Amino acid sequence: MKKIVSLLSAALVTSAFGATAYASSPDVYVVNFRNNADAQSQRLDSALASAVPMAGVNAQEVVIDTSNAAKWEKGAYDAFDYDIVPIFNKWVGLPGFAAVVDARTKRVIGCVNPSFAPQEIAKELRKMTAQAKGQAYMSTASVGGKTTRCPAAHNEMPTG
């Protein structure tokens, strides 16, 4: 009887830890490229602080801060830990926007910048998370000039 209880206890503990790990894995990464000297970065920081919880999605913010060498290095390690090094390499050093990345495929879905209000960022995060999860989402045409298109690559690999 004690063996059965021990076996069931071990199975429950294993499944509890497995469920926690699965539930905690994000659907998207919000990769915030920032620098303290950049005013847009500071505006985006406060907008993201409101927008991510407001969106109500399973998102993990990853900060790539190039304000000093230590923060730059931490950003590089975080990019490695989250397996988004190509995204880090593409835009490191270009502050003032956040790339939304599918956590499973590591594909960039879109970007937001400080021209978006926190409510607008939250709405875009909900749409991009739905895309990452393969779910339908409502899309409306925008005539306001705001776009979720990402900036051109800041760091290009040399050709030839």
Dist. CA 128–CA 94, nearest whole Å: 22
Q: Return the pLDDT at 13.
A: 40
pLDDT beneath 50: ranges in the chain: 1, 4-23, 158, 160
Answer for the pair 31, 113: CB distance below 8 angstroms, yes or no: no
pLDDT of residue 95: 96
Residue 91 near residue 151 (C-beta atoms within 8 A): yes
The predicted pLDDT at position 70 comes to 95
- The whole-model pTM stands at 0.79
How confident is the model over 116-153, as pLDDT tens digits? Answer: 999 999 999 999 999 999 987 766 655 566 888 999 98
How many other CB atoms are there within 10 angstroms of residue 74's CB atom?
14
Domains of the chain: 25-132 (3.40.30.10)
pLDDT at 143: 53
